[in-house]
Each structure stands twice: as structure tokens, then as C-alpha cells.
Chains A and B, each alone.
Chain A
Amino acid sequence: MSEVLVLVDHVDGAVRKSTLELLTAARRLGEPSAVVVGAPGTSAKIRESLAGHGAAKVYVVESDTATDLLVTPQVDALALLAERTSPAAVLVSATAEGKEIAGRVALRTGSGWLVDVDDIAADGVATQSVFGGAYVVKSKVTTGTPVITVRPGAIDAEAAEGAATEEAVEVPVAEASKPVRVTGREPVVAGDRPELSEASVVVSGGRGVGSADSFSVVEELADALGGAVGASRAAVDSGYYPGQFQVGQTGKTVSPQLYVALGISGAIQHRAGMQTSKTIVAVNKDPEAPIFEIADFGVVGDLFTVAPQLSQEVAKRRG
């Protein structure tokens, strides 16, 4: 069975959930080989978690300089291993960094690549959702080694036993390209709420929330439902909530089990970021708000009375 290279996304000695999803997808195409690029000692910390999700091999590409450079250490490692192992595919998480890595690997290996894939079949045909979920496209790579970036959260991670046999790999530093130096990092501090793009429940507030202070009504409902908080562009532009929580065309694309829109009119740009959610509930004062056109359940009313009542009722049911 062919190998499938999976680039491991890790932070602070822990594997990101999206990597476990990639390992699950990789098993459909062949035998997963995890590729760990990082500072010395990284693989030792995460090998067990990779083994628990079916990694047959772990290529260990560790160096002191790996964290001082941006993107290129991962590109160098994947391009070298792609040439050496002729894998059935190379899988990378469709994060900002993952997509940059994948595009460069595709160029360097003379291969085609696919962006933001939601699903992969055993024959390599991938499903993508484009224009904010308005179209479903099935495509495949026809030249070279398929390089595929998979949207975090799109595929459910499944546990499986793997040998996770480690193999150290020396990657010569490409001299032709000039380096970019990483001079500092300020990682996002994970809050108590789930990450927006991974959450199964998202509660978002829009212009109707009216102020930064009143966003607490959105947060309370999110906490009652164990979900993440989102915001429409109008709310972010008005300074009600930080930009990293923006849902929509120019923010994050989410597709949770439940999306609750509070005081969001539902402009096409917002819908592009959330209309693939499984169930949509909307509360808005304006009965004409376009959000009601796509909501499974809508309440025409004041979010400041409806949302707190909802939070209370949810808390009651959860005891």
C-alpha cells in the first residue's frame, strides 16, 4: 500500500485536532506517514497521539532552526519526502500556513493541489464547497503527487492503531531561497470557549447587539450552549467584538451543528461564512431580515429578551 504523507500541525508539544483528522482521511488513500517538523524533542512528545490515529511511520525532521523560519522548513521536508517515497498524496491542514506550505510543495514537486477540501474519497476525488457554500465541486489532481489541504473540522477524527515507527530525516537547507527570520511569536491564548472553526455550536451577534458591552448577552448564550462566540462584519466594524471572531466572506467559515444568529440581518457576505451550518436559528427584530430566508427556526423579536430567556431555559434543561 502506498504511503500518504501527513504534515503534523503541532503547538506546545501537542498535536492539533486537524492533524488527527488528516490521519483519518489518509487511511482511505493508503498508509499514513506523519511528518513532524519542529524543534528537537517534538516527535517524542506527540508520537503516541499519532500512533493512536493510525500513523504507520513518523518522519522526524527536527532542527534548532525549524522554528526560526517561516513555512520553508515544512516545504523542504515535504518536497524531499514526496520525491523519496512517491506517496499517494500529501495532506496538509487548510490553515493560512498550511495552504501556503501546500502551494509551495505543489510548485516544487510539479504537482496539482486542492484547497479547502471537505471530503476525500478513496479514488482521490475531493469535495469542495465554493462561494461560501453556494456550490459543491468535486475535483481531482491530474498531474504529479496530489497535494490536498483539508478544512479543519470537516472530517471526523477516528482512532486507529498505528506502529508510528520513527525515522529521522536530514533535510538539506535550500540555499537558493533567501530566508525570512521569525523574530518573535505571540500565540493566540486559548480561552475557555471552543475554537470558532472547530466548535459544534456557534452563537454570533450582529449590528443589532448595539454595543461592545451588550455582547455579553451573546457570550452568555454561547456559554450556556457550550459553544463559540462569533460576530458579523458589521459588529466587528462597529468595534463591538474583536476581528478574530468575524464570521463571513472576509472572516472565518464555520459549519457547526447549530448556528444561532442574534441581531444579524444576514447579508450575503455573512451567509457565505455560515450557510453550511447544519441547523440555523435566528433572532431579529426585523421580520424582513434576509437571515430568516435560511433559518430553520426564526423568532421575530428583541434579542435582549429572547436570548437571556433561551440561556436560562438551556441551563434548566442541562440541570
Chain B
Amino acid sequence: METMNIVVLIKQVPDTWSERKLTDTDHTLDRDAADAVIDEINERAVEEALLLKEAHGGKVTVVSMGPDRATDAIRKALSMGADEAVHISDAALHGSDTIQTAKVLASAIRTIEGVDLVVAGNEATDGRAGAIPAMLAELLGLPQLTHARRVEVEGTEVRVERETEDGITHLAAELPAVVSVGEKINEPRYPSFKGIMAAKKKPVTTLGLGDLGIDPSEVGLAAAFTSVVESAPKPPRGAGERVEDQGDGGVRIVEYLAAQKLV
């Protein structure tokens, strides 16, 4: 293969350092409650895509589905060095579940010609389904090499070290393929000033559902295959007893644990 045509998926999520909330009305994410940032694992996905591009030549296209303000996350990826972006934005997508999200992302990826590799984060910090990359492989009919801690491309073959709670699994497949990366894959680069300036001029194509040939009635909260019956914030955990260690801290803990029948 001469050069690589890489698609990298990114998602804007509520910052895990801020208080995250669900809305009272329809139990969807309260996007105004928390700061919105590019999900950290996506920065690693972008980094891995850029490393592959630097090694093999080619192009990195960012694909993101989300409301208008997701452009901030997209710009971040472009300022790191991605070449262009596709932003899927449509009011009808509000409240879509993972099934609908995977279908919309697959449609958008199909609009990009000659894709060799789709790179994604293994699991978003908000939904934590951890299955979108596998679901894209299912929809696109591509091999899935997910939860990678190491990715290698040689010729037309991609090899991955998959790391999960089961241990390490070595995987190999022919391109095109879907890869998802885990925490240990790399350290993402910081955008340079030059990168930030250049990102402003990089092309971002905005696609609505009409552009993807998707009927708005097939997506969104009303068409989701699952529904939330109720949601409630857990009552905050109160602070219990706190003591200063007077040389008997360990003993005091054991006494507490014994009273709770924990030892």
C-alpha cells in the first residue's frame, strides 16, 4: 500500500473533572451542566492516526457526531495535525442510542472514499458502552482490532496487541479494518501554535441527516431501541466520622470496622 487513508472518530464529552448531570425532562445528557471537551481517549486515537500517517504517508480525516459546539473538539484534533474533518450535526440526532449512533457514523464513514483504517477510542467517558468500534466493524463488514495498546501496519496487514481484563491478545487482519485504542497506546501531542493557526483553515464538512440519506424519524430519542423509565441523582454520600491520628489511628479504624461487622 502506498499511503494510508485514515479516519479517526472523536466525541465531545462532559469533562470528567466537572459535575455531570442528566436533564429532568428526557433523561438525556445535560450538555450545559458541564464543560465540554474532546474525550481524552480520542486524543490518543488522533495521536495514533498521526503516527501512522507520519510512518506511511497519507491523510487523516476526523469524523465526529454532535451538536454545533462539537466544533471545538474537532478543531483540537485538527490543531494536533489531522488534515480535514466531517461534522455530523442534526437536531434530530438528540437522544440517539448507541445503535443509531453506530449507524449514522457508519454512513458518514461510507461517504469517504478508500478508507484503509478507522481509529477510535475504546470507550467514551460518558456513555461507557465500549462497543461503538465493534459495532462499526459489524456494520461496515470490517475486521475489528479493538482495545489496542499497540498498533502496527505493515504492507496491507494491521497487527494489534489487544489489552483487556482477560490479558493480552495478539490480533492480525488485512486492511481495511477498525481499530480502537486504550489508555496505554501513546501520549498525545500538544497542539503547537502553528498547528492551532493552521487548523483554522482546514476544511470541515458539515453533514446533516439528509446528506447521509437517513430519515430523521429513524434516529433520536423517540426512535431509540431503549428507553429510560426514570433517572435520579444518587443522594450525595455524606461525610462520616473523622479523627486525628493520636498514635492510635489503626486501632480506631479496626474498632470502627468491628462495629460495622467488617472484621
Q: Which A residues have a C-beta under 8 Å from some C-beta of B?
A: 11, 70-71, 75, 95-97, 99-104, 106-108, 111-116, 125, 129-131, 133-144, 176-188, 197, 225, 243-244, 249-250, 257-258, 267-269, 272, 275, 279-281, 283, 287, 292-302, 305-314, 317-318
Contact = CB atoms under 8 A, between A and B. Distances in A.
Contacts of B262: 257-258, 279
Contacts of A250: 40-41, 125, 183
Contacts of A179: 143, 173
B69 interface: no
Interface residues of B, number: 85
B131 A102 contact: yes
Interface string B163-189: 011111111111001000001100000
What 3 A-B pairs have minimum CB-CB distances, sorted nearest first?
A301-B245, A309-B250, A112-B225
Nearest to A100: B134
Interface stretch (B59-67, B85-93, B232-240): B232-240
Contacts of A101: 134
Nearest to B223: A143
B185 to A, nearest CB: 12
B166 A11 contact: yes
A182 B170 contact: yes
Contact of B169 (A139, A178, A184, A300): A184
Contacts of B263: 225, 314, 317-318
Given A178-B142, A243-B183, A138 B128 contact: no
A112 B225 CA distance: 4
B134 A310 contact: no
Contacts of A135: 21-22, 231-234
Contacts of B234: 129, 133-136
Contacts of B142: 177-178
Interface of B: 16-22, 27, 40-41, 97-99, 102, 122, 125-135, 137-139, 141-147, 159, 162, 164-174, 177, 183-184, 224-234, 237, 239-245, 247-254, 256-258, 260, 262-263
A125 B244 contact: no
23 contacts: A70-B144, A70-B169, A95-B166, A103-B135, A104-B131, A106-B99, A115-B98, A129-B234, A130-B128, A134-B234, A178-B141, A180-B145, A180-B173, A183-B172, A197-B165, A250-B40, A250-B183, A267-B17, A268-B17, A279-B262, A281-B253, A300-B244, A313-B251
A294 B237 contact: yes
Nearest to B169: A185
B229 A138 contact: yes
Given A180-B171, A180-B172, A307 B258 contact: no
Contacts of B131: 99-100, 102-104, 115
B170 A298 contact: no
Contact of B231 (A99, A137, A142): A137
A104 B129 CA distance: 12
Nearest to A311: B250
A97 B169 CA distance: 11
Contacts of A275: 237
